[in-house]
Chains A and B, each alone.
Chain A
Amino acid sequence: MFRIQSSRRNFLSVGSMALGGLSLPSLLRAAGSQRDISCIVLFQDGGCCQLSSWDPKPEAPADIRGRFKDISTAIPGVHFTELVPRSAKIANKFTVIRSMTSDVAIHDVARRYMMSGTRPRTELQHPSYGAVVSKERGPKNGLPPFVVVPDREASAEAGFLGSAYDQFVAGDPKAKDFRVKDVGLPDGMTLDEALSNRKLLQAIDRQFEAVQRSPVIEAMDQFSQKAFDLVSSPSTKKVFHIQDEPDALRDRYGRSTIGQGALLSRRLIESGVRLASVYHGGYDTHTGHEPQYAKILPEFDQAFATLVEDLEQRGLLSTTLVLGIGEFGRTPKLNPAGGRDHWPGVFSVVLAGAGVPGGLVLGKSDAAASAVVDRPTRIEDLGATVYKILGIDAHKALDGPNRPVLINKDGVPIREVLS
């Protein structure tokens, strides 16, 4: 592609985000396909230890297998560890890939890699899954297409696609008085007061704009209007109002960030959000691995299993892809500090919904869970699979800086998980 880059183009494309723009029916008509698949990503910060979760090695020496026992699952002959009992019970509803492999062991790079399906390059920031989905699918029901829980995430950025497709940050729904970040009126502010502030702001800006005009000003105007719509609309606030969920269900998901994040994500995709990512901290255990995993992994287990069941009960599982992924694996051997360090050579991920088969265990690691022995699967392959399931052409060229950039260039879709 040969063009003089114009920042104006980015500013104009902002308009296509159209929060509160198109109506639901018109969007559905526009989409015109039954494969309107949403996606929820449960992300394990630091990378989940394969040995402590989906790929136990009970036969291995103690300093490899660790202290967690293996348990049987709904699939005869398949074992997980005792830290994921809820998932074990519904193992017939999702796929485990035990042969993921990469060579990136640096957190930030690995996160971007995993959340985009494309190996990060220093000169070109590839858009994340959520950003590509925002661009390719657009908003539905006036909601931001791509929401991140709990905080702003570098690995969720839109890269060269530009800020219009960036994440919308929801905040942490675990908090007792959770309110979606910056949406809704601040404490003690009435709508009247907000309206009169806005009137004053518009009057002041009008004086400035009487003599000024530039793309940056136009873009600020658009956002300002959208922001106010979002803030003043009771329905947006309601979508994020997780407190409306029954207490029993909230308990079933677990009152953790990942649990409540998963539940909020379900509410969001139910209402029109295309992709929601929940980031779950605490897997980077260079010391004291086992006590930490005993605490953290059951939170994930509870959230993941409940999410799959909840989606199924609501008839949403067939149209929602659920991913349980992290940055990489952890070292097969416990280190002297009782920790496990970064290990990209082999690790496991889980996938459910949207036609992904239940009860499938794909690929195999060696006796120490240190290398792949069967069906090596690259992060690019997972990326190609995700796009295939979401109905997005992975070989479509995006308008990159100075050249076309494919959404996913090298991945080979994992045919075993495609229905």
Chain B
Amino acid sequence: MWIRLTLTVLWTAAVWAGEEQARLQIYPDRISLAGPGSAQQFLVMFTGASGVSEDVSSSAEPSLDNGAIRIDRAAVQFTGVTAGETRVEFRARGLQATALVKVGAGGGDMAVRFSPDIITILTIKGCNSSNCHGAIAGKSGFKLSLFGYDVKADHEMILTAHQGRRVNLQNAPASLLLKKPAFEIPHGGGKVLPLGSPDYETMLKWLRQGAPLDAGGPTVTRLEMFPAERTLLVGSGTQRLVVIARLSDGTTRDMTREVRYETSNEAVAKLGEPGKMEAGSPGLATLLARAMGKSATAQVGLITAPAGAGFRHPAPQNFIDELVFAKLRHMNVPVAGLSTDEEFLRRVYIDTLGRVPQPEERRRFLAATRPGRRARLIDQLLEHPEYVSYRTLRMEDWFRNTQLFSQGRPMGAFRDWLKDQVQADRPYNELVRDLVTSIGDTARNPAGGFWMPVTDFMLNKFDPKAATPMVTRLFLGLRMECAECHNHPLENFTQDDFYGLAAFFGQMRIKIGQGVYRRTWYLDETAEVEHPSTKKPVLAKVLGGEPLTLPRDADRRVGLADWITSPKNPYFARATANRVWHAYLGTGIVEPFDDLRSTNMPTNRELLDRLAEHFVANGFRLKELDRVIFNSATYQLSSQLPRSPGVSEELERLLFARYQPRRLPAEALLDSISQVTGIAQTFANHPPGTLAKDVEINDQPAYFLATFGFPRRDLLGQRHESPTLSQTLHLMNRETLKEKLEPEQNLIGKLMARRASDREIVGEFVEHAYARLPRAEESELILRHIEAQAAEGRSRRRTLENVLLVILNSKEFQLNH
């Protein structure tokens, strides 16, 4: 993996973000052909010091240490000649690379097997995709498993279902299975298998063999696409891909022409004929190949030119910057400069305390001695009581603290419990363990409120099948819900994996506690979860693990909590690190931020790994994760446009080349407006002076909060961050702002009372709202407006109210930038 290599260079030579070492590589470099006559395509890839790759398969000089295989230069493939093993060496550009190829004893004219041959055809032709026969309900009575994960069921459907009407073993060409896709008779899916095409002939041959299932044949255990990551120059034309399947019998099979390809970004990497892609415009694309219910991914980066010696970036503050800037240099995306002290100040206040800084806070920061004042400010803010409130609020979003599901979840108690955890900076692994194993009266053990979103409190019914995707998505970044009904199409998870996890929750029962609104969790130790197809109890099993046999009276969830929170768990720390990163940078290293399936590649794998390692090494403390992110130059980059135009905005965003402006969340916006105007907001059932971020009951939020994306938390997912028409209308029309703008004792009133000049007042407005002093032309602009209003006979007070209204409506105020 090149990133890995980059880093070795980087750390040992202590030249961060430096040049990479040129290298030559053969893909795949471990091949096991079934026998003489079997072939495997290959790629010889040269990667220069700039990190840009080039296919040198046809020009590289090969040598073989024996004659077990021959190299077919035109087809770019190795072909087995006799059983044996050979070392292949290629030389190009003064470098050499080797691969090992085994040739088995199998071979000759191989019989067509249902799996993988026929299933592969059904997959490539899209027959078993979700909008065709692979749909849950099938199509026109013919149902196949999604992308061929259930070989046996598919065979049965083709051979025996509906009285075997789909095949005619006496007269194979008359089989419906061929006539429909060949469009000899009408077919809703069109002509996908033309008469006489190679795939048609393969199917025909299989039918003539008697259409055996041959379930005893080898199965595909893993699919791999090569190279997993590569960077190409724009204009490098058609590029080859190689896909290999590893089979259960230890052999490999060339799947390059036998998988279904998809691209995440057509503009960057357009798919051509099977096994080919066209290099497009600058950007990142993920390619996906699937077959036999398995999938493999590869990432392609396109750049116009490698970064030159003039590539600039701010000084790295910690490992984050080294990795982010190395990637940006690699992709030649210019890095923005560092934010100004004032920009940083406003940004970090909003992200830590959920409000803009006050003028005194700004002045204090600017008066502090220079080296390290940003880091010192971060330390102070992380100890601020409002940080605890705001962090708690974010965690209430994660765990969906709401009254909606249940008066059985005492919202206040759950929030207080969470707040205590945040206050103490409780290690997140311990906190998660408390949630996952919570038991008893939810009023006494508020952690038990965690389950309420997947509990029907009216019917006192708890659903392990609903709890499973909630737990995997929150703590592992895995969306398992697809696997409830079928094997996951984008992940190598099966329905059995889903039920293995659901079994952990099978013992949980809920009953009415003391009083109508209290609920108590207890365990029915013998209760099981039933598999929908076998109708048999399922043994609890973690992903990739063996079924657990536990003592009958054991709380199974403890086993799950052990696995989730283990420092070795490959998902937990990454999922948490990515979630926190997304909260502060606006874009996850993996997007969507809580979807870490293997086919969803991180834009910067090493960065995610290192962040996760840092989190684990620091005792799973969220505050430390916050701290290291806030202290990075990456977080502190300017949000302003880089100097050189023409860089893809998408790439800038995905690779963190500058800070991306974001709307203030509803609570932060409201608390900031209250602070700027000097008029506190009042909330029903809360004492005066309560801040929006401390409001407990969110099922009846004020119109303002609801309009600005205050989440109801009944669904898993993030807040609505995109602007809406109602938001604009609401602020423009002063409805909420009226009660802030008009009172005598507000900011305007105070400034007028002390006879401040218009210029002074404008300065105060700008400092309160933007955390900076007005620029000269800005003051002039506003002062001219005030003058003109006076000339039209409008009162000074009214005009100043309008000016403040306009400032509160301005983008600079409404965005965290």
A interface residues (Cβ-Cβ under 8 A, vs B): 2-8, 10-11, 14, 17, 19, 103-109, 112, 120-125, 144, 151-152, 154, 162-163, 166, 168-169, 181-186, 189, 192-193, 196-197, 199-201, 203-205, 207-209, 211-217, 219-220, 223-224, 226-228, 230-231, 342, 397, 401-404
Contact = CB atoms under 8 A, between A and B. Distances in A.
Nearest to B661: A214
Contacts of B720: 163
B490 A200 contact: no
Interface in B516-540: none
A231 to B, nearest CB: 7
* In the complex, the 7 A-B pairs of residues with the closest C-beta atoms, listed nearest first: A182-B729, A105-B458, A227-B728, A223-B728, A163-B724, A208-B812, A211-B640
Contacts of A401: 592
Interface in B717-732: 717, 720-730, 732
20 contacts: A2-B599, A5-B592, A7-B722, A11-B722, A123-B470, A123-B481, A124-B481, A152-B703, A163-B724, A181-B735, A182-B735, A183-B733, A185-B733, A186-B733, A200-B802, A204-B812, A220-B723, A223-B728, A231-B732, A403-B130
Contacts of A224: 728, 732
B789 A203 contact: no
A213 B641 contact: yes
Interface stretch (B75-83, B155-163, B221-229, B778-786): B778-786
A390 B663 CA distance: 36
Interface string B622-657: 000000000000000001110000000110001000
B725 A2 contact: no
Interface of B: 130-131, 262-265, 284, 286, 288, 404-405, 453-454, 456-459, 466, 469-470, 473, 479, 481-482, 489-490, 591-592, 595, 599, 639-641, 649-650, 654, 660-663, 703, 706-707, 712, 714-717, 720-730, 732-735, 738, 775, 777-778, 781-782, 785, 788-789, 792, 794, 802-803, 805-807, 809-812, 814-815, 817
Given A105-B459, A122-B469, A152-B703, A217 B717 contact: no
A397 B131 contact: yes
Given A121-B481, A123-B479, A223-B723, A2 B288 contact: yes
Given A214-B639, A223-B728, 17 more contacts: A2-B263, A3-B265, A5-B591, A121-B481, A123-B481, A163-B723, A184-B733, A197-B802, A200-B806, A203-B781, A204-B807, A212-B641, A212-B811, A219-B723, A220-B728, A224-B732, A401-B592
Nearest to A397: B131
A136 B252 CA distance: 48
Contacts of B288: 2
Contacts of A214: 639, 649, 660-661
Secondary structure dominating the interface of B: mixed
A212 B725 contact: no
Given A123-B479, A197-B806, A402-B595, A223 B727 contact: yes
Nearest to A17: B725
A200 B782 contact: yes
B726 A182 contact: yes
A213 to B, nearest CB: 6
Contact of A216 (B456, B481, B640, B663): B663
A108 B404 contact: yes
Contacts of B815: 216-217
A151 B703 contact: yes
Contacts of B792: 192
Contact of A208 (B264, B595, B723, B810): B810
B458 A10 contact: no
A132 B489 CA distance: 26
A227 B810 contact: no
A154 B402 CA distance: 13
Contacts of B458: 105-106, 342
